[in-house]
Amino acid sequence: MDNAAEKKLALTHFWVAFGSFGLAAVMGLYQVIERSGFFGFLESREVYYASVSTHGVLMGFVLTTFFIMGFGYYVANTTLKLPVWNKTFAWTGFGVALTGVVLAALPLLLGQASVLFTFYPPLMAHPLFYIGATLLVVGSWFWCVSMIVMYMQWKKINPEQPVPLAMFATTANAILWLWTSAGVAAEVLFQLIPWALGWIDTIDAGLARTLFAWTLHPIVYFWLIPTYTAFYTLVPKQAGGFLFSDEMARAAFILLVVFSLPIGFHHLYMDPEQGHGWKILHAVGTFVVTLPTFITGFTVIASLEIAGRLNGGKGLFGWIAALPWNNPMVLAIILGLLMLIFGGFGGLVNASYAMNAMVHNTAWISGHFHLIFGGTTIIMYFGIAYYFWPILTGKPLFCPSMAVAQLWSWFIGMIIMTTPWHILGLLGQPRRIDSVNYNNLLTISWEPYEVTMIFGGLILVVSAGMLVYNLYKTHLGSESYQGEVEYAEPIHAVSNLPGYLNNFTLWNIVIGVFMLIAFGYPILQFFLMETFGSGRWGV
């Protein structure tokens, strides 16, 4: 299959993603050092918040969006055996998204958009930041359209046939993103941009936070679905085995899409504008979304056990040692699952209405977010990159042993940095602060944890450098490599797949009903009762 154009498209997206990641990693280390208070010459409130905002945008929006788009294009091409639909359209989407990143970067780096990555009003940024963020989202919608069109093209050619699992998951992610990005799009277009341009004087911060909550939690699953796609469709093959169940994988993806959308209010537990009943409704939904995670954990571990036993593993746990631990993809999932166990426990605490009150505005939340996002999600992006890079560049991986060392160092650094972060949260350290301007026995007791976090941050930056260096040297390599992505086969071939596990018509209707119930009145109330706008506020 001649897919050089698709390889170029995917690789270009990946380089934007990992270039942003490298820059953001350095900023992350600066923030850990600055807020520790041990290095007075580095302390600057303005630089700190500009750095935090840029770090969050690069990691949460740029790395993820470009990685997901590049991954999706190549998955669609290689699973469906179809060329990417309308490549001009795809490159236009890339250009729109990249233009948005550049526009948003200007005020971010100049300290005129220090509104953190959630950009909650009444914090107000320069209009270019909001316009840039909007273009980034619009560019990603081009990708969503491409994925859905290719999915429909294949269905038309192959009626009644099961859509390849990796493409089924990618299409699910495109649908999820279209649904979830609607909230933040409405907030930015109808509130933040007119406000930042001076067209309106005040803003209803409660409405803005509610619209952002529409997006804020499902976006986590937008980031996570490529990781789960690799869990189900790439890892079993790399481990030397088979997928335990294709049907359970499809059920997990559908549950993720359906139940991850109407649950964003657990980010608003401490906010007064929504009633307790709505918060409890969203809390129940948040616990339901753990179901696809449990299904994924069971199915993936079962698939790994199949591989381990085919590799000669014996006894109750002998299959674990028989797995190819030196394969970056396999190592990434093992380390990612370990971090998911600890991060998942923290997520249950956050989802609980009562316990959330204890940790909500503390450093616990930052520790949890970094463990889940930087741990489980991003480490699998690394594993995918190490597998895809030789295929996309036509060059063998520069140093496989460095890749293995990089994954271990990322895991160790992340554990060392996030464990004290959680403890600091339980000790009462607030989040979203650049420094502590008071000293007592409590804040002095935080110091050993701050030192430990700096050590973890140093390891993470070195690890990030190893990743980018290895990918860069691979790209410049002189040797040639011939290979293509190999997807895992289910241990039992798929037959008689019911329609609801092979298309999304029913599920879009279900999502529409759930979203109407979960967000209908909570948004409508702002237009039915007297509310008061808020003027800008900033550091």
Catalytic residue from among 55, 266, 267, 370? 370
Amino acid at 426: L
Catalytic residue from among 45, 276, 432, 492? 432
Residue 370 among the catalytic residues: yes
Catalytic residue from among 342, 369, 373, 398? 369
Question: Please, which residues bridge with residue 430 across strands?
Answer: 362
Rounded CA separation 124/245 (Å): 48
Residue 209 among the catalytic residues: no
Residue 267 among the catalytic residues: no
**What is the SS3 string spanning 397-441?**
CCCHHHHHHHHHHHHHHHHHHHHHHHHHHHCCCECCCCCCCCCCH
Residue 217 among the catalytic residues: yes
For residue 521, the tally of other CB atoms under 10 A from its CB is 13
Smallest CA-to-CA distance from 384 within 333, 329, 338 is with 329
Three-state DSSP class for 327? coil
For residue 503, the tally of other CB atoms under 10 A from its CB is 15
Smallest CA-to-CA distance from 79 within 416, 532, 486 is with 486
Smallest CA-to-CA distance from 259 within 354, 179, 140 is with 179
End-to-end CA distance of the chain: 55
Q: Is 36 exposed, middle or buried (0-12, 13-18, 19+ CB in 10 A)?
A: buried
Phi, psi at residue 537, to the nearest 5°? -150, 145
Catalytic residue from among 250, 267, 360, 368? 368
Three-state DSSP class for 486? coil
Residue 282 among the catalytic residues: no
Task: Provide the 8-state DSSP code for 395.
Answer: S
Residue 432 among the catalytic residues: yes
Residue 221 among the catalytic residues: yes
Catalytic residue from among 309, 431, 475, 536? 431
Catalytic residue from among 14, 66, 221, 342? 221
Structure tokens at 319: 């299959």
Give the residue numbers annotated as catalytic, written as ranges: 217, 221, 368-370, 431-432
